[in-house]
Amino acid sequence: MLMMSYGSGNVFRRTTKPKVGLAIANMQPGWAVVVERAEDERPGDWYVQVLLRKDNTFQLEYRDGEPSQHFQTRTVSREKVIDAVVGWAKNDPAWKEAFMWNNIGAEFE
């Protein structure tokens, strides 16, 4: 099951491109949009998150199960962020290709 939370605590159980687009379009600096995948058969944390930084860039991160598999990138493109979040939610393997990713997993271990 997918759950999206953003802003001041709004939560949606169905993640669609219009909902993701609206959440990201309404972001204020310091706000985050988080889409989580809750699956009983796979342990760990599975999510993608976007933070709008004070310099109006988007910090995009994802975690694939365990802290050592936590990656980050930054972009100024709102559309690329929306496409990435929707692609992640749909399990589209190409969603990561538009970015260069840094593994920041060591920060969480």
Domain ranges, residue 32: 2-108
The count of domains in the chain is 1
pLDDT in tens, 70-107: 999 999 999 999 999 999 999 998 999 999 999 999 89
Residue 32, CA distances (Å) to 42, 79, 92, 99 in order = 25, 16, 22, 19
pTM score, whole prediction = 0.90
SS3 of residue 34 by DSSP:
strand
pLDDT in tens, 53-74: 999 999 999 999 999 999 999 9
